[in-house]
Chain A
């Protein structure tokens, strides 16, 4: 679907939907939203809904980055401490690597 071809109110509706969906612990929604509407929000010829879209894109983008940083930090901390945390870490794991403490 090419966003540029949609009518402006549809653009806003979709952007809003993705923004709201992101609150359901779905950071990928925000990431997609931010990238997908980036051009519309900042470089497209101005139209009335653009201001709102821009707001959603910025907040979605920040949200996605916060999530990304959070997830990466957690993965690093978890992987470094997995063997020390013992049973707790094992219960948190979906696949436990073989032959590694």
Chain B
């Protein structure tokens, strides 16, 4: 009994001492003392299509290497020919981010990773003279209208005269090492200082250990292609891991007037005005798409808002309706537009017919489409007042359709004359369309439509689908939402005005000059180009706005619920622009069913609470390939892009001692362990002698 108590006391004492040391040590983990974590959220990651994998992955435990900052071309030679401390992690500015550099790094076998650092003073305009685009020279050609099998006459056009001559296809290449983009200035300086202090060769001679090293972690779960990783995600009893997920988001759209299923929609009565919602880069968490997406999105929004002010006039005299739509995932094989066409063909756009839903929204199908006006890149015209109109040579070979298209072109010309700020120039009729959503429609139906861009031939945007396609690229200069000095928003506003004027004429057959609101245009531009926590987003975004950062909008389509806050905020903004305020309090301001023709949104931060009735909604933008049973992944009919799953991406910087020192430390540890075991054993066997205790009587 007595011994039991002492035993318990001893345990208590031990616990106290242990916890005491624990609190005294106050737990900074050894790991945190060794490693310094720097910006690692912009990793190049893996994506898959039906046949290939693209992007980057690290090894399971990450890739480490000795840091080497490349300042000039000769530094590469030094690493490959003289550098003794392989593997290296190379750090360089976007100046060296070319296919040739990355290929040489792969071939050398001495490189285990790359970080692309963007110092604050890096100016692409003066330093990157050749432009930089991760896209191919013919973006989206493989799933477009002019592929080799369907339209051989036009298939070769882009190969002879590429739309995107700066295209490097870097986005579509599979790299053997991880690549990170680092824009945080503290991290950039950290890398530079550590390199200069420890690693920078002196007179061409390598420095000795310890050397500054980097560890890059971005291990991707998926492999091979979409077919393989989608299959793996679906089988196995423990399949909670996401090997890969289909690219997924929402098309955001609304019509000028609500469409009730009880009223028939006349054929050729819906004018579609479309723009592309998404942009892409090689890296996670950065996809500004200033010209490739934002210019079109804001022009569309601004024009929609301007037209909506004349809603009653249009409804009273015309049976035409106008559908404003932002297509999502167009970069990755026209996901959004091909889904809308597929749904229309299946008779389920926007939804299948539901029983027992009052005031249900009508189904729209391909025969209801009248004209199709699409805004692609419109933000970088060479001559500030000049934009180009593209038409499709194949469908316009039909004389009837050509008449309609000519009518559309004339109306656009008249509108531009009326507004008198922006001139439209027609591109030669035998030139096929540039990459555009209307191609998805033209693959299935003959409609007359135009694509409005800032380029006649090759893109004016030197940074198409890259992280450099930001507000600097389009020279958007406003520092706040009310800046009037900026010229860019005036240009976008002019385009929106011409567009609105043309739409008014198309719908009502009467001329009327409609001017878009430049303040609204600037506010919208400011939000998407510079800061997604802007006033408009605060007013309309509701709960969703809280999840956005004070940064440019991230426009990558992403996977299901990957970037949904951005999409919801965009939908709410559209709802605000294409909606009527109604007298309803918060509790009544909600929809009975998503199948209703009208939706209600409550904006609690707008004028102390506002209820808006609108037709704006979002519908799924996921490629039909993932809905069709037994879809042939290699058929090339629909987009098959998926994104790999991963657990984390991070970059750590640390000082690495020489191998000898590392071995010495480990050996020292082993020796001291063995010694302590021997000492304890010795003390135990001589306990009587050392502590003067008698051995306790044996139990039982």
* Chain A residues near B (Cβ < 8 Å): 83, 86-87, 90-91, 93-96, 98-101
Residues of A within 8 A of B223 (CB): 99-101
Q: A86-B228, A99-B57 are in contact. Are A94 and B236 (CB under 8 A)?
A: yes
Nearest B-chain residue to A83, judged by Cβ: B224
Q: A86-B228, A87-B231, A101-B224 are in contact. Are A96 and B236 (CB under 8 A)?
A: yes
Per-residue CB proximity of B215-249 to A under 8 Å, as 1/0?
A: 00001111110001001100111100101000000
User: For the complex, what is the distance from the CA of A58 to the CA of B231, rounded to whole Å?
Assistant: 46
- A93: min CB distance to chain B, Å: 7
State which of B220, B224, B236 has its C-beta within 8 Å of the C-beta of A95.
Answer: B236
Residues of A within 8 A of B691 (CB): none
Residues of B within 8 A of A83 (CB): 224
User: For the complex, what is the distance from the CA of A83 to the CA of B223, rounded to whole Å?
Assistant: 10
Per-residue CB proximity of B586-618 to A under 8 Å, as 1/0?
A: 000000000000000000000000000000000
Residues of B within 8 A of A87 (CB): 231
User: For the complex, what is the distance from the CA of A19 to the CA of B231, rounded to whole Å?
Assistant: 42
Q: Are B231 and A99 in contact (CB under 8 A)?
A: no
User: For the complex, what is the distance from the CA of A91 to the CA of B236, rounded to whole Å?
Assistant: 7
Q: Does any Cβ of A come within 8 Å of B22's Cβ?
A: no
Residues of B within 8 A of A93 (CB): 235-236
Q: A95-B238, A96-B236 are in contact. Are A90 and B231 (CB under 8 A)?
A: yes
User: For the complex, what is the distance from the CA of A86 to the CA of B243, rounded to whole Å?
Assistant: 15
Residues of A within 8 A of B231 (CB): 87, 90
State which of A91, A95, A96, A99 has its C-beta within 8 Å of the C-beta of B219.
Answer: A99
Sample of 16 A–B contacts (CB below 8 Å): A86-B228, A87-B231, A90-B228, A90-B235, A93-B235, A93-B236, A94-B236, A95-B236, A96-B235, A98-B221, A99-B57, A99-B219, A100-B223, A101-B223, A101-B224, A101-B228
Q: Does any Cβ of A come within 8 Å of B60's Cβ?
A: yes
- A79: min CB distance to chain B, Å: 15
Nearest A-chain residue to B57, judged by Cβ: A99
User: For the complex, what is the distance from the CA of A95 to the CA of B237, rounded to whole Å?
Assistant: 8
* Chain B residues near A (Cβ < 8 Å): 57, 60, 219-224, 228, 231-232, 235-238, 241, 243
User: For the complex, what is the distance from the CA of A99 to the CA of B243, rounded to whole Å?
Assistant: 8
Total of A-B residue pairs, C-beta within 8 Å: 35
State which of B228, B235, B237, B241 has its C-beta within 8 Å of the C-beta of A98.
Answer: B241
Tell me the interface secondary structure of chain B in the complex. Answer: loop
- B492: min CB distance to chain A, Å: 44
Residues of B within 8 A of A95 (CB): 236, 238
- B347: min CB distance to chain A, Å: 33
Q: Are A94 and B237 in contact (CB under 8 A)?
A: yes
Residues of A within 8 A of B228 (CB): 86, 90, 101
User: For the complex, what is the distance from the CA of A47 to the CA of B557, rounded to whole Å?
Assistant: 80
Question: Which 8 pairs of residues, A with B, have the shortest CB-CB distance?
Answer: A98-B221, A101-B223, A96-B232, A101-B224, A99-B221, A99-B220, A90-B232, A99-B219
Q: A94-B237, A101-B228 are in contact. List 6 more A-B contacts (CB 8 A).
A: A83-B224, A90-B228, A94-B238, A96-B235, A99-B60, A99-B220
Q: Are A91 and B235 in contact (CB under 8 A)?
A: yes
User: For the complex, what is the distance from the CA of A91 to the CA of B228, rounded to whole Å?
Assistant: 11
Residues of A within 8 A of B235 (CB): 90-91, 93, 96
Nearest A-chain residue to B236, judged by Cβ: A96
User: For the complex, what is the distance from the CA of A91 to the CA of B237, rounded to whole Å?
Assistant: 11
- B198: min CB distance to chain A, Å: 32
- B665: min CB distance to chain A, Å: 31
State which of A90, A91, A94, A99 has its C-beta within 8 Å of the C-beta of B222.
Answer: A99
Nearest B-chain residue to A87, judged by Cβ: B231
User: For the complex, what is the distance from the CA of A101 to the CA of B223, rounded to whole Å?
Assistant: 5
Residues of B within 8 A of A99 (CB): 57, 60, 219-223
- A92: min CB distance to chain B, Å: 10
Residues of B within 8 A of A100 (CB): 223
Residues of A within 8 A of B236 (CB): 93-96
User: For the complex, what is the distance from the CA of A2 to the CA of B224, rounded to whole Å?
Assistant: 55
User: For the complex, what is the distance from the CA of A100 to the CA of B235, rounded to whole Å?
Assistant: 16
Residues of B within 8 A of A94 (CB): 236-238
- B633: min CB distance to chain A, Å: 12
User: For the complex, what is the distance from the CA of A100 to the CA of B224, rounded to whole Å?
Assistant: 9
- A87: min CB distance to chain B, Å: 6
Residues of A within 8 A of B237 (CB): 94
- B61: min CB distance to chain A, Å: 11
User: For the complex, what is the distance from the CA of A91 to the CA of B219, rounded to whole Å?
Assistant: 24
Residues of A within 8 A of B241 (CB): 98
Nearest B-chain residue to A98, judged by Cβ: B221
User: For the complex, what is the distance from the CA of A6 to the CA of B236, rounded to whole Å?
Assistant: 46
Residues of A within 8 A of B232 (CB): 90, 96
User: For the complex, what is the distance from the CA of A90 to the CA of B119, rounded to whole Å?
Assistant: 46
- A77: min CB distance to chain B, Å: 20
- A45: min CB distance to chain B, Å: 35
Q: A87-B231, A90-B231, A90-B232 are in contact. Are A98 and B238 (CB under 8 A)?
A: no
User: For the complex, what is the distance from the CA of A87 to the CA of B230, rounded to whole Å?
Assistant: 11
Nearest A-chain residue to B220, judged by Cβ: A99
Nearest B-chain residue to A86, judged by Cβ: B228
User: For the complex, what is the distance from the CA of A90 to the CA of B223, rounded to whole Å?
Assistant: 13
- B544: min CB distance to chain A, Å: 32
Most A CB atoms within 10 A — which of B57, B224, B235? B235
